[in-house]
Amino acid sequence: MLRKSERTRQAILDAALKFLWTHPFRDLTVAELMSLAGTSRSAFYPYFADLHELMEALLRGIEDDIFAAATPWFEGEGDPIPLLEETMAGLVGVCYRKGPILRAVSDAAPMDGRLEKAWADFLKDFDDAVTHRIEQHQTAGLIKPFDARPVAIALNRMDAYLLIHHFGRRPRGSRESAQEAILRVWISTLYGEKTLKYLNL
């Protein structure tokens, strides 16, 4: 059971996500946020120094969720195609629930130095992880030799902007169509067109 302090912090994070479903980050104020959270404005500051720190916490949270969803492909053994399918289903599920966080940070980043760094670090973490996994699968003979990092960056940017487009605001797009699009590109790019028949794509 969460302690009161943990419940309050989570209520603030939940209220921020609720706000971001319908508004950009630039319109967020501490007063409105805490009204949504059902507590006083002063209750914000024991948990976050400012709204930037709040957004950074939201981004770290979704990053943790995405890495957890990606565990099958990042760490699993055996046929990589079902592992990739499981991972992408998890990725789409996370972004279906929390897509506005990605939209808010990516939209604000070009005009906000702190969020620009947070967004760049977020993307780099996934670039590093995907690059490493591609190289492992190349060593195992599962993926043909090529320079892994540019391909990892291309795949990750495609994912980010497709998922923001589908799930960054309401009404949300189709989970199934987003997952199929991502799988089609990842599988054909990494493992070859012939493997698409595995999923009837």
Taking only the tens place, the pLDDT of each residue in 107-146 is 999 999 999 999 999 999 999 999 999 999 999 999 999 9
User: Which pLDDT score, from 0 to 100, does residue 5 have?
Assistant: 85
Q: For residue 70, what pLDDT is reported?
A: 98
Give me the pLDDT at residue 23, please: 94
Residues of the chain with pLDDT under 70: 1-2, 194, 196-201
Whether the CB-CB separation of 73 and 83 falls below 8 Å is answered with: yes
* Pair 115, 103: CB distance under 8 Å: no
pLDDT score recorded for residue 4: 77
Show the domains of the chain with their CATH numbers. 1-48 (1.10.10.60), 50-199 (1.10.357.10)
Please report the pLDDT score of residue 201 as a whole number: 53
Residues 15/33, Cβ–Cβ less than 8 Å: yes
| CA-based nearest residue to 135, from 74, 89, 67 | 74
Query: What are the two backbone dihedrals, phi and then psi, of residue 105, each rounded to the nearest 5 degrees?
Result: -70, -45
C-alpha 22: how far from its chain's center? 18
The Cα 80–Cα 142 span in angstroms is: 8
196: which DSSP letter? G
pTM here is 0.93
**13: closest CA among 98, 94, 95, 103?**
98
